Amino acid sequence: MRGFDHNETTESTLNNSDPATRSFGRRAILRYTAAAGAVGVSASAFAQTGALAAPRPPAVVSGDADPAAQLQQLYRDALDEGGGLVVWAGGSSPTQEDRTRQAFTTAFPGIDTSITVRYSTEHSALIDRQLALGGLEPDIVQLQTLYDFDHWKAKNALLSYRPPGAQAVFKQYRDPDDTYIGISVQSFGRVVNTALLSEAEMPRDAVDFLKPAFRDKIVIPDPTADDAVLFAIYLVTQKYGLQFMERFMEQRPLIVANSPATTAALASGQRTASLANVSSLAPPPGQSVRYIAPRTDQFMSWPRTAAIFRAARHPAAAKLYLAWQLTLERQSAVLQWPSRRDVTVPAGHITDYNSPINGFREFLRDRAAVERYRALIRTFIHPSSGTN
């Protein structure tokens, strides 16, 4: 399995010359659209577009000489401001952040913490409404819809804050003006039931899922309902062409609503493998559902990104929460990969893998192209009956 050597990776290796990121340039797009031209995907569909707003003055930064002391000061400030905190987190299960809340309130007693989980698109729409009409509820958000952070930054809605440890976060995962930052790295990729498949049988590259043994054995979240899953499919079709989707659907995969439903189908043994799902690379004993990296395929990953609002009612508590998420302890216990390059975990860093570090962000930026590709994939996932 790739990705378990712990060679140090410096920021200088992650600039725009990174071949993984460069794969989203115009030449790669032209190669893909030449194969897909018959179905009308434009050659400029996924070209990089737009730019961030003009830089604002840098945030006031306290040094990282004593992060523990900074956390304790933020803790005192959070209690002084009332001891409340409202976090809105992107996700598909209302309980998926319960352990996060428990860990935070155990570390900082007296902070009355609420973490509300909805799909990121639902959160962002509600936030836009509240920013326009007043009565903003969340102090801090952590979402998958990365384009929302640029949108809110342009509206001057985000607070500039550089938490301890921020300088160690991969530069592609943090805003240069400190208005948002990645708190961990996750991927929708290959996930299997290790109790039902031997190491040799596990499908790693997308073409492995086309083997006869996986007919009626695959489960996947609906890629037309989630941009991250859609991007996972995009990377597959970029390499193998749209013919892959035809052959994949002939395997009669189970298409479910979201990641928890995918995990449930795998854990129960109803299905044995998923082309795109989230799970731990090193599950605890007794858990059979595990993420595995491809042999040669590129795969999608993204930074779980967080930001504090300027209108937050509990700014000190929000800073405390963000700083806590970037502590060495928290970064060492993430589900998949840390966003800090100075934290060593058994899975290594995302930069040890064949995953375009900024690919998902670039994919999301052209919303019209994303919707066009979604409609294209929908013709495979949800073919029309031909009736009005």
| Tens place of pLDDT per residue across the chain (388 aa) | 333 233 333 333 333 333 333 344 433 333 333 333 333 333 233 333 333 333 333 333 444 568 999 999 999 999 999 999 999 999 999 999 999 999 999 999 999 999 999 999 999 999 999 999 999 999 999 999 999 999 999 999 999 999 999 999 999 999 999 999 999 999 999 999 999 999 999 999 999 999 999 999 999 999 999 999 999 999 999 999 999 999 999 999 999 999 999 999 999 999 999 999 999 999 989 999 999 999 999 999 999 999 999 999 999 999 999 999 999 999 999 999 999 999 989 999 999 999 999 999 999 999 999 999 999 999 999 876 444 4
For residue 86, is it within any domain?
yes
Q: Are strands 219-221 and 254-256 parallel, antiparallel or unpaired?
A: parallel
Q: How far apart are the first and last CA of the chain?
A: 49
Residues 173, 215 within the same domain: no
pLDDT tens digits along 48-80? 333 333 333 333 344 456 899 999 999 999 999
User: Which of the listed residues 291, 310, 328 is the one where a domain comes to its end?
Assistant: 291
Strands (E), the chain: 84-90, 112-118, 140-143, 181-186, 189-193, 219-221, 254-256, 273-277, 289-291, 302-308
Same domain, 127 and 193: no
Structure tokens at 153: 């930054």
Q: Around Cβ 157, how many Cβ atoms within 10 Å?
A: 18
Residues 237 and 255 grouped into a single domain = yes
Question: Could you tell me if 347 and 236 lie in one domain?
Answer: no
In a domain, 175, yes or no: yes
Angle ∠(51,349,325) on CA atoms, nearest 5: 75
Per-residue confidence (pLDDT) for residue 384, from 0 to 100: 63
How many structural domains compose the chain? Answer: 2
Do 170 and 307 belong together in one domain? yes
3-state secondary structure of 112: strand
Instruction: Please count the CA atoms within 13 angstroms of the CA of 246 that sit on its side-chain side.
Output: 4
332-354 per-position pLDDT tens digit: 999 999 999 999 899 999 999 99
Residue pair 326/181 in contact (Cβ under 8 Å)? The answer is yes
Q: How, if at all, do strands 189-193 and 289-291 pair? A: antiparallel
Within-domain flag for 71? yes
Query: Considering the chain, what is the average pLDDT of its residues?
Result: 86
The pLDDT score that the predictor gives to residue 13 is: 30
Domain match, 82 and 141 both: yes
The answer to whether 158 touches 277, Cβ cutoff 8 Å, is no
Residues 193 and 106 in one domain: no
Query: Measured between alpha carbons, how far is 43 from 29 in angstroms, rounded to an integer?
Result: 6
In a domain, 236, yes or no: yes
Q: What is the CATH number of the domain that holds 131?
A: 3.40.190.10
CA distance 151 to 156: 9
Within this chain, do residues 308 and 179 fall inside the same structural domain, yes or no? yes
Beta-bridge partner residues of 304: 184
Whether 314 and 78 have beta carbons less than 8 Å apart is answered as yes
Instruction: Provide the token pair at 176.
Output: 């240069």
| Residue 247 and residue 107 share a domain | no
**Residue numbers of the domain that contains 208:** 189-291
Among residues 291, 322, 338, the one where a domain terminates is 291
256 and 150 fall within a common domain: no
Is 360 part of a structural domain of the chain?
Answer: no
* Residues 93, 171 within the same domain: yes
Q: Identify whether 335 is part of a domain.
A: yes
Q: Write down which residue in 269, 291, 313 finishes a domain.
A: 291
Quick one: 309 and 166 in the same domain? yes
Helix (H) or strand (E) holding 27: helix 26-36
Buried b vs exposed e over 64-100: b needs ≥16 C-beta within 10 Å?
Answer: eeebeebbeebbeebbeeebebbbbbbbbeeeebeeb
Coarse DSSP helix, strand, coil percentages of the chain, rounded to the nearest 5 percent = 40, 15, 45
d(CA 208, CA 221): 18
Asked whether residue 321 is assigned to any structural domain, the reply reads yes
Q: Please indicate, yes or no, if residue 314 is contained in any of the structural domains.
A: yes
